[in-house]
Amino acid sequence: MDSADRAATDRLEPHEIAFLRGGRRAALTVAVLTLRLRGSVGRGRGGTLCTTQPLDDTGTVLPALPALTEAVHGSLRSPADIRQLLVREEVALALVDVRHELTVAGLMRVLLPGSTRAGRRTLRALRSAHPMPTTRRGLSPEDRLLAVALYGDRALTTLMPRFAREGGLVGRRGRATEREREYGQSWGSGSGGLSCGAV
């Protein structure tokens, strides 16, 4: 890996790595997990997700969240499953921004879906430096996010199996269609509303 690739790798956030590996749904999953690990999102009824507390109500000073993660939290004031969340306007626009940033960095192709050669080298380097964990024991929240970003559903079901299943992140509700994964350019507006609270 040359110095330009290494610099790009060093500044990538977990949701960006996930987008590079698996597209919109993968990035969205990491954003949801970021909120879950902060205690701000929980599972709702029927495989949905919902907010459980405001982002600034954790009682501790936490680092600023990426725009995608904030968009997800705002959109979950009204419960949604992962596929509904993908097409809520605020989230869809944030995902467009993530793709744009990766494209500008030379890691994703401009017109066609998928990563560039530099993007694929970046993923290989990250996987080499961070092998797939076999247990959640001893892993920090950051380690969990990075594992899910790099290895997708395999890491998700190993590290957070109950939330992944009950929150609809895996299984039928968590699967994006091929068209959603590759293109997914249309969106609808999410409705406002009250938090569904912890369920």
CA distances from 80 to 49, 85, 145, 173, 199 (A): 6, 6, 21, 11, 14
Model confidence at 6: pLDDT above 70 = no
Question: Domain total for the chain?
Answer: 1
pLDDT for 139 = 94
pLDDT attached to residue 20: 96
Domain annotation covers residue 191: no
Three-class DSSP labels, 170-193: CCCCCCCCHHHHHCCCCCECCCCC
Write the pLDDT tens digit of every residue in 94-147.
999 999 999 999 999 998 889 999 999 999 999 999 999 999 899 999 999 999
What's the whole-model pTM score? 0.81
The mean pLDDT value for 18-22 works out to: 97
Q: Is residue 22 part of a domain?
A: yes
pLDDT score of 62: 58
Determine the Cα–Cα distance for residues 1 and 115; give it in Å rounded to an integer.
Answer: 16
Q: Report the distance separating Cα 52 and Cα 63, nearest Å.
A: 19
Phi-psi sector, 41: left (phi>0), alpha (psi -120 to 50), beta:
beta
- Whether 137 is in a domain gets the answer yes
Please report whether residue 79 resides in a domain: yes
The length of the chain is 199
pLDDT at 150: 97
Any domain includes 95: yes
Pair 68, 26: CB distance under 8 Å: no
Q: Look at residue 188 and tell me if it is in a domain.
A: no
> Mean pLDDT across the chain, nearest whole number?
82
- Owning domain of residue 141: 3-182
Domain membership of residue 139 (yes or no) is: yes
| 40 in a structural domain | yes
Higher pLDDT, residue 20 or 9: 20
Of the candidates 39, 24, 150, the one whose C-alpha atom is nearest the C-alpha of residue 82 is 24
| Model confidence band, residue 176 (pLDDT cutoffs 50, 70, 90) | very low
Mean pLDDT, rounded, for 81-105 = 96
